[in-house]
Chain A
Protein backbone atom coordinates (compact mmCIF):
# COMPACT_ATOMS: atom_id res chain seq x y z
CA UNK A 1 0.00 0.00 0.00
CA UNK A 2 2.63 2.53 1.06
CA UNK A 3 5.58 1.05 -0.79
CA UNK A 4 6.33 0.76 -4.49
CA UNK A 5 6.71 -2.63 -6.14
CA UNK A 6 7.92 -3.55 -9.62
CA UNK A 7 4.25 -3.60 -10.65
CA UNK A 8 2.99 -0.30 -9.33
CA UNK A 9 3.43 2.84 -7.25
CA UNK A 10 2.71 2.89 -3.53
CA UNK A 11 0.63 5.60 -1.85
CA UNK A 12 3.66 7.66 -0.80
CA UNK A 13 4.96 7.97 -4.36
CA UNK A 14 1.47 8.66 -5.69
CA UNK A 15 0.84 11.45 -3.18
CA UNK A 16 4.27 12.98 -3.79
CA UNK A 17 3.69 12.89 -7.54
CA UNK A 18 0.31 14.63 -7.51
CA UNK A 19 1.28 17.08 -4.78
CA UNK A 20 4.29 18.03 -6.91
CA UNK A 21 2.16 18.35 -10.04
CA UNK A 22 -0.35 20.59 -8.29
CA UNK A 23 2.33 22.78 -6.73
CA UNK A 24 4.32 23.11 -9.97
CA UNK A 25 1.30 24.17 -12.02
CA UNK A 26 0.16 26.57 -9.29
CA UNK A 27 3.61 28.07 -8.83
CA UNK A 28 4.10 28.52 -12.56
CA UNK A 29 0.79 30.32 -12.95
CA UNK A 30 1.37 32.46 -9.87
CA UNK A 31 4.95 33.23 -10.86
CA UNK A 32 3.97 34.28 -14.36
CA UNK A 33 1.13 36.46 -13.11
CA UNK A 34 2.95 38.09 -10.21
CA UNK A 35 6.05 39.09 -12.19
CA UNK A 36 3.83 41.17 -14.46
CA UNK A 37 2.04 42.96 -11.63
CA UNK A 38 2.05 46.72 -11.34
CA UNK A 39 4.02 48.13 -8.38
CA UNK A 40 0.79 49.44 -6.86
CA UNK A 41 -1.09 46.14 -7.11
CA UNK A 42 -2.36 44.70 -3.83
CA UNK A 43 -0.60 41.41 -4.60
CA UNK A 44 2.77 42.95 -5.53
CA UNK A 45 4.30 41.73 -2.27
CA UNK A 46 1.72 39.07 -1.35
CA UNK A 47 2.26 37.12 -4.60
CA UNK A 48 5.98 36.55 -3.97
CA UNK A 49 5.22 35.72 -0.31
CA UNK A 50 3.01 32.82 -1.41
CA UNK A 51 5.32 31.84 -4.27
CA UNK A 52 8.38 31.66 -2.02
CA UNK A 53 6.61 29.89 0.84
CA UNK A 54 5.09 27.20 -1.38
CA UNK A 55 8.28 26.97 -3.42
CA UNK A 56 10.46 26.29 -0.40
CA UNK A 57 8.01 23.62 0.83
CA UNK A 58 8.06 22.08 -2.63
CA UNK A 59 11.88 22.03 -2.55
CA UNK A 60 11.68 20.09 0.70
CA UNK A 61 9.02 17.72 -0.67
CA UNK A 62 11.03 17.20 -3.86
CA UNK A 63 14.14 16.24 -1.91
CA UNK A 64 12.06 13.73 0.08
CA UNK A 65 10.55 12.52 -3.19
CA UNK A 66 13.97 11.95 -4.77
CA UNK A 67 15.16 10.10 -1.67
CA UNK A 68 12.06 7.89 -1.74
CA UNK A 69 12.56 7.27 -5.48
CA UNK A 70 16.08 5.97 -4.88
CA UNK A 71 15.17 3.91 -1.81
CA UNK A 72 12.11 2.25 -3.33
CA UNK A 73 11.70 -0.15 -6.24
CA UNK A 74 10.63 1.54 -9.49
CA UNK A 75 7.63 0.08 -11.34
CA UNK A 76 8.62 -1.53 -14.61
CA UNK A 77 8.57 0.63 -17.74
CA UNK A 78 6.28 -0.54 -20.52
CA UNK A 79 6.32 -0.40 -24.31
CA UNK A 80 8.93 -0.82 -27.03
CA UNK A 81 12.64 -0.42 -26.32
CA UNK A 82 12.71 3.10 -27.78
CA UNK A 83 9.57 4.10 -25.92
CA UNK A 84 11.05 2.92 -22.64
CA UNK A 85 14.27 4.83 -23.36
CA UNK A 86 12.29 7.98 -24.19
CA UNK A 87 10.25 7.56 -21.00
CA UNK A 88 13.40 7.21 -18.87
CA UNK A 89 15.01 10.27 -20.48
CA UNK A 90 11.79 12.26 -20.11
CA UNK A 91 11.47 11.40 -16.42
CA UNK A 92 15.16 12.19 -15.85
CA UNK A 93 14.56 15.55 -17.57
CA UNK A 94 11.57 16.27 -15.33
CA UNK A 95 13.54 15.54 -12.17
CA UNK A 96 16.53 17.61 -13.31
CA UNK A 97 14.35 20.54 -14.35
CA UNK A 98 12.49 20.45 -11.04
CA UNK A 99 15.80 20.73 -9.21
CA UNK A 100 17.08 23.50 -11.49
CA UNK A 101 13.86 25.51 -11.14
CA UNK A 102 13.73 25.10 -7.36
CA UNK A 103 17.41 25.82 -6.74
CA UNK A 104 17.57 28.80 -9.12
CA UNK A 105 14.43 30.16 -7.47
CA UNK A 106 16.02 29.78 -4.05
CA UNK A 107 19.09 31.68 -5.26
CA UNK A 108 17.12 34.84 -6.19
CA UNK A 109 15.96 36.29 -2.85
CA UNK A 110 18.99 34.86 -1.03
CA UNK A 111 21.46 36.57 -3.38
CA UNK A 112 22.44 39.16 -0.79
CA UNK A 113 22.37 36.93 2.26
CA UNK A 114 18.73 37.25 3.32
CA UNK A 115 16.86 34.07 4.18
CA UNK A 116 13.48 33.05 2.78
CA UNK A 117 10.49 33.20 5.10
CA UNK A 118 8.11 30.27 4.71
CA UNK A 119 4.60 31.43 5.69
CA UNK A 120 6.23 33.54 8.42
CA UNK A 121 6.61 30.24 10.29
CA UNK A 122 10.30 29.60 9.74
CA UNK A 123 13.13 30.89 7.62
CA UNK A 124 15.29 29.01 5.13
CA UNK A 125 18.80 30.46 5.49
CA UNK A 126 20.79 31.83 2.58
CA UNK A 127 23.54 29.30 1.99
CA UNK A 128 24.88 30.69 -1.28
CA UNK A 129 25.02 34.44 -1.82
CA UNK A 130 27.17 37.11 -3.35
CA UNK A 131 27.84 35.39 -6.67
CA UNK A 132 28.34 37.97 -9.44
CA UNK A 133 24.94 39.32 -10.46
CA UNK A 134 23.38 36.35 -8.70
CA UNK A 135 19.74 37.45 -8.45
CA UNK A 136 19.49 38.52 -12.08
CA UNK A 137 21.18 35.42 -13.51
CA UNK A 138 19.31 33.04 -11.21
CA UNK A 139 16.11 34.81 -12.25
CA UNK A 140 16.79 34.12 -15.91
CA UNK A 141 17.62 30.46 -15.25
CA UNK A 142 14.48 30.20 -13.09
CA UNK A 143 12.19 31.52 -15.82
CA UNK A 144 13.55 29.47 -18.72
CA UNK A 145 13.86 26.24 -16.74
CA UNK A 146 10.31 26.72 -15.39
CA UNK A 147 9.05 27.18 -18.94
CA UNK A 148 10.91 24.04 -20.04
CA UNK A 149 9.53 22.12 -17.06
CA UNK A 150 5.96 23.07 -17.93
CA UNK A 151 6.43 22.14 -21.61
CA UNK A 152 7.98 18.79 -20.70
CA UNK A 153 5.16 18.21 -18.19
CA UNK A 154 2.59 18.79 -20.92
CA UNK A 155 4.41 16.18 -23.01
CA UNK A 156 4.47 13.89 -19.96
CA UNK A 157 0.70 14.28 -19.49
CA UNK A 158 -0.04 13.75 -23.20
CA UNK A 159 2.10 10.61 -23.20
CA UNK A 160 0.26 9.29 -20.14
CA UNK A 161 -3.12 9.90 -21.81
CA UNK A 162 -1.93 8.27 -25.03
CA UNK A 163 -0.77 5.17 -23.12
CA UNK A 164 -4.08 5.08 -21.29
CA UNK A 165 -6.49 5.60 -24.19
CA UNK A 166 -4.57 4.35 -27.21
CA UNK A 167 -2.21 1.69 -25.87
CA UNK A 168 -4.62 0.59 -23.11
CA UNK A 169 -1.69 0.21 -20.74
CA UNK A 170 -1.97 0.85 -16.99
CA UNK A 171 0.82 3.46 -16.58
CA UNK A 172 -1.75 6.13 -15.71
CA UNK A 173 -4.00 4.04 -13.46
CA UNK A 174 -1.03 2.77 -11.47
CA UNK A 175 -0.13 6.42 -10.70
CA UNK A 176 -3.64 6.86 -9.28
CA UNK A 177 -4.41 3.57 -7.60
CA UNK A 178 -1.92 2.24 -5.05
CA UNK A 179 -3.65 -1.17 -5.04
CA UNK A 180 -2.09 -1.83 -8.44
CA UNK A 181 1.24 -2.29 -6.68
CA UNK A 182 -0.14 -5.34 -4.87
CA UNK A 183 -1.50 -7.24 -7.88
CA UNK A 184 -0.03 -10.67 -8.31
Chain B
Protein backbone atom coordinates (compact mmCIF):
# COMPACT_ATOMS: atom_id res chain seq x y z
CA UNK B 1 0.00 0.00 0.00
CA UNK B 2 2.72 2.44 1.04
CA UNK B 3 4.77 1.39 -1.98
CA UNK B 4 1.85 2.02 -4.31
CA UNK B 5 1.31 5.48 -2.87
CA UNK B 6 5.00 6.25 -3.21
CA UNK B 7 5.00 5.21 -6.86
CA UNK B 8 1.88 7.24 -7.54
CA UNK B 9 3.43 10.28 -5.91
CA UNK B 10 6.64 9.87 -7.90
CA UNK B 11 4.65 9.57 -11.12
CA UNK B 12 2.58 12.61 -10.30
CA UNK B 13 5.70 14.58 -9.47
CA UNK B 14 7.34 13.48 -12.71
CA UNK B 15 4.27 14.53 -14.66
CA UNK B 16 4.33 17.98 -13.07
CA UNK B 17 8.05 18.53 -13.51
CA UNK B 18 8.04 19.95 -17.04
CA UNK B 19 5.37 22.47 -16.00
CA UNK B 20 7.10 23.88 -12.97
CA UNK B 21 10.69 23.50 -14.12
CA UNK B 22 11.99 25.52 -11.21
CA UNK B 23 14.89 27.74 -12.08
CA UNK B 24 17.86 28.16 -9.83
CA UNK B 25 16.71 31.70 -9.13
CA UNK B 26 13.22 30.86 -7.86
CA UNK B 27 12.60 31.15 -4.14
CA UNK B 28 9.58 30.40 -1.98
CA UNK B 29 9.16 32.74 0.97
CA UNK B 30 9.68 30.77 4.17
CA UNK B 31 6.32 31.40 5.82
CA UNK B 32 6.23 27.86 7.18
CA UNK B 33 9.35 28.40 9.28
CA UNK B 34 8.09 31.93 10.03
CA UNK B 35 11.15 33.68 8.67
CA UNK B 36 9.01 36.29 7.05
CA UNK B 37 7.25 39.36 8.45
CA UNK B 38 4.98 42.05 7.07
CA UNK B 39 4.63 44.85 9.57
CA UNK B 40 3.07 48.26 9.61
CA UNK B 41 3.71 51.29 11.78
CA UNK B 42 1.23 54.11 12.07
CA UNK B 43 0.99 57.06 14.40
CA UNK B 44 -1.57 57.07 17.19
CA UNK B 45 -2.84 60.65 17.31
CA UNK B 46 0.78 61.81 17.22
CA UNK B 47 1.46 60.41 20.70
CA UNK B 48 3.25 57.21 19.73
CA UNK B 49 3.10 54.47 17.11
CA UNK B 50 0.90 51.45 16.67
CA UNK B 51 2.88 48.48 15.38
CA UNK B 52 1.10 45.59 13.81
CA UNK B 53 1.62 42.75 11.41
CA UNK B 54 -0.09 40.38 9.04
CA UNK B 55 0.32 36.82 10.19
CA UNK B 56 -0.93 34.92 7.14
CA UNK B 57 0.60 35.43 3.72
CA UNK B 58 2.48 33.57 1.06
CA UNK B 59 4.73 34.50 -1.77
CA UNK B 60 7.71 33.83 -3.90
CA UNK B 61 10.51 35.75 -5.54
CA UNK B 62 13.09 35.43 -8.26
CA UNK B 63 16.62 36.53 -7.56
CA UNK B 64 19.91 35.75 -9.26
CA UNK B 65 22.98 37.92 -8.56
CA UNK B 66 24.10 37.63 -12.18
CA UNK B 67 20.80 38.80 -13.56
CA UNK B 68 19.42 41.39 -11.14
CA UNK B 69 17.16 43.13 -13.66
CA UNK B 70 15.17 39.91 -13.76
CA UNK B 71 14.41 40.00 -10.03
CA UNK B 72 10.73 39.80 -9.15
CA UNK B 73 8.45 39.18 -6.19
CA UNK B 74 4.84 38.25 -5.61
CA UNK B 75 2.94 38.30 -2.36
CA UNK B 76 -0.57 37.47 -1.28
CA UNK B 77 -1.70 38.60 2.15
CA UNK B 78 -4.71 37.48 4.17
CA UNK B 79 -5.79 40.89 5.48
CA UNK B 80 -7.97 39.35 8.20
CA UNK B 81 -4.79 38.02 9.83
CA UNK B 82 -3.86 41.56 10.89
CA UNK B 83 -2.87 41.85 14.52
CA UNK B 84 -1.66 44.68 16.75
CA UNK B 85 -2.00 42.72 20.00
CA UNK B 86 -5.38 44.20 20.82
CA UNK B 87 -8.45 42.30 19.65
CA UNK B 88 -10.91 45.19 19.79
CA UNK B 89 -8.61 47.55 17.90
CA UNK B 90 -7.91 44.90 15.27
CA UNK B 91 -11.63 44.28 14.89
CA UNK B 92 -12.05 48.01 14.30
CA UNK B 93 -9.16 48.22 11.81
CA UNK B 94 -10.62 45.26 9.89
CA UNK B 95 -14.15 46.72 9.92
CA UNK B 96 -15.74 48.78 7.15
CA UNK B 97 -14.34 51.91 8.85
CA UNK B 98 -10.90 51.02 7.49
CA UNK B 99 -9.83 47.83 5.71
CA UNK B 100 -13.30 46.27 5.11
CA UNK B 101 -11.84 42.78 5.29
CA UNK B 102 -15.19 41.14 4.57
CA UNK B 103 -15.29 42.76 1.15
CA UNK B 104 -11.54 42.84 0.47
CA UNK B 105 -10.03 39.79 2.18
CA UNK B 106 -6.80 39.72 0.17
CA UNK B 107 -4.01 42.19 -0.50
CA UNK B 108 -1.51 41.44 -3.23
CA UNK B 109 1.79 42.74 -4.41
CA UNK B 110 3.06 41.96 -7.91
CA UNK B 111 6.39 43.38 -8.92
CA UNK B 112 6.80 45.05 -12.27
CA UNK B 113 10.51 45.77 -12.21
CA UNK B 114 13.71 45.97 -10.25
CA UNK B 115 16.45 48.58 -10.50
CA UNK B 116 19.75 47.78 -8.74
CA UNK B 117 21.08 50.84 -6.96
CA UNK B 118 24.28 49.63 -5.35
CA UNK B 119 25.86 46.74 -3.54
CA UNK B 120 23.06 44.48 -2.35
CA UNK B 121 20.53 47.24 -2.87
CA UNK B 122 17.87 48.17 -5.30
CA UNK B 123 14.39 49.47 -5.79
CA UNK B 124 11.57 47.03 -6.37
CA UNK B 125 8.59 48.52 -8.13
CA UNK B 126 5.24 46.87 -8.43
CA UNK B 127 1.51 47.05 -7.99
CA UNK B 128 -0.02 46.86 -4.55
CA UNK B 129 -3.68 46.03 -4.24
CA UNK B 130 -5.22 46.84 -0.87
CA UNK B 131 -8.83 47.58 0.05
CA UNK B 132 -9.74 46.91 -3.57
CA UNK B 133 -7.53 49.71 -4.92
CA UNK B 134 -4.37 49.16 -6.90
CA UNK B 135 -1.45 51.57 -6.90
CA UNK B 136 2.07 51.48 -8.26
CA UNK B 137 4.58 51.56 -5.43
CA UNK B 138 8.34 51.54 -5.10
CA UNK B 139 10.12 49.81 -2.29
CA UNK B 140 13.86 50.12 -1.66
CA UNK B 141 15.10 46.67 -0.72
CA UNK B 142 18.34 45.34 0.70
CA UNK B 143 19.83 41.88 0.37
CA UNK B 144 20.66 40.90 3.93
CA UNK B 145 22.32 37.58 3.27
CA UNK B 146 22.36 34.45 1.18
CA UNK B 147 23.96 31.05 1.25
CA UNK B 148 23.62 27.44 2.34
CA UNK B 149 21.57 27.03 5.48
CA UNK B 150 22.40 24.34 8.08
CA UNK B 151 19.55 22.09 6.91
CA UNK B 152 20.44 21.49 3.30
CA UNK B 153 18.70 24.38 1.58
CA UNK B 154 19.89 27.57 -0.03
CA UNK B 155 18.44 30.77 1.35
CA UNK B 156 18.38 34.45 0.50
CA UNK B 157 16.88 37.13 2.72
CA UNK B 158 15.79 40.71 2.19
CA UNK B 159 14.22 43.66 3.88
CA UNK B 160 12.45 46.66 2.51
CA UNK B 161 10.13 49.42 3.55
CA UNK B 162 7.94 52.03 1.98
CA UNK B 163 5.35 54.60 2.94
CA UNK B 164 1.72 54.19 1.94
CA UNK B 165 -0.75 57.05 1.81
CA UNK B 166 -3.99 55.48 3.00
CA UNK B 167 -6.19 57.76 0.92
CA UNK B 168 -4.60 56.21 -2.20
CA UNK B 169 -6.26 52.97 -1.17
CA UNK B 170 -9.66 54.48 -0.50
CA UNK B 171 -9.18 54.38 3.27
CA UNK B 172 -10.65 57.49 4.82
CA UNK B 173 -8.46 58.88 7.62
CA UNK B 174 -9.81 62.42 7.39
CA UNK B 175 -11.14 62.43 10.98
CA UNK B 176 -7.64 61.70 12.27
CA UNK B 177 -4.64 64.04 12.48
CA UNK B 178 -2.39 64.47 9.47
CA UNK B 179 0.32 62.22 10.96
CA UNK B 180 -2.07 59.25 10.74
CA UNK B 181 -2.84 59.65 7.05
CA UNK B 182 0.09 57.47 6.04
CA UNK B 183 1.84 54.45 7.41
CA UNK B 184 5.16 52.74 7.06
CA UNK B 185 5.20 49.25 5.68
CA UNK B 186 8.16 47.08 6.59
CA UNK B 187 8.80 43.68 5.04
CA UNK B 188 11.54 41.18 5.71
CA UNK B 189 11.70 37.61 4.57
CA UNK B 190 13.88 34.66 3.72
CA UNK B 191 13.29 32.60 0.62
CA UNK B 192 14.24 28.98 0.16
CA UNK B 193 15.59 28.27 -3.28
CA UNK B 194 13.40 25.81 -5.13
The chain A residues found within 8 Å of chain B, CB to CB, are 38-40, 48, 108-112, 114, 129, 132-136, 139
A109 to B91, CA, bound (A): 9
**B-chain residues with CB within 8 Å of residue A39 when the two chains form the complex:** 175-176
Nearest CB in chain A: distance from B173 CB, A: 11
- Per-residue A-contact encoding for B174-191, CB less than 8 Å = 1, 0 else: 011000000000000000
Beta-carbon contact of B176 and A112 below 8 Å: no
**A-chain residues with CB within 8 Å of residue B101 when the two chains form the complex:** 133, 136
Beta-carbon contact of B95 and A136 below 8 Å: yes
Beta-carbon contact of B91 and A108 below 8 Å: yes
The chain B residue with its CB closest to the CB of A133 is: B80
A177 to B95, CA, bound (A): 47
Beta-carbon contact of A136 and B88 below 8 Å: no
The 4 A-B pairs with the shortest beta carbon distances in the complex, nearest first, are A111-B87, A135-B91, A112-B87, A135-B87
A175 to B52, CA, bound (A): 51
Our pick among B86, B87, B95, B175 for the contact of A134 (Cβ within 8 Å) is B87
- Per-residue A-contact encoding for B94-117, CB less than 8 Å = 1, 0 else: 110000011000000000000000
Chain A, interface SS category:
loop
A48 to B87, CA, bound (A): 13
A108 to B90, CA, bound (A): 10
A-B CB contact pairs (8 Å), 23 listed:
A38-B175, A39-B175, A39-B176, A40-B175, A108-B87, A109-B87, A110-B87, A111-B87, A111-B90, A111-B91, A112-B83, A112-B85, A112-B86, A112-B87, A114-B86, A132-B80, A133-B101, A135-B87, A135-B91, A136-B91, A136-B94, A136-B95, A136-B102
Nearest CB in chain A: distance from B174 CB, A: 12
**A-chain residues with CB within 8 Å of residue B102 when the two chains form the complex:** 136
A135/B88 contact (C-beta < 8 A), A39-B175, A39-B176 known: yes
Our pick among B80, B83, B175, B176 for the contact of A136 (Cβ within 8 Å) is B80
